Amino acid sequence: MNAAYGSFLEGLLVIYMDDLVADAAGERYNVNWTRVSPMVMSVHDNIKGHILPGK
- pLDDT for 46 equals 76
DSSP letters, 10-47, are: HHHHHHHHHHHHHHHHHHHHT------S---B--EEET
6 — pLDDT class (breaks 50, 70, 90): confident
Q: What is the pTM (predicted TM-score) of this model?
A: 0.64
Is residue 1 pLDDT above 70, yes or no?
A: no
Show me where the domains of the chain are located: 2-51
Q: pLDDT of 11-39, one tens digit each?
A: 788 888 989 999 999 999 999 998 888 77
**For 33-46, what is the mean pLDDT?**
79
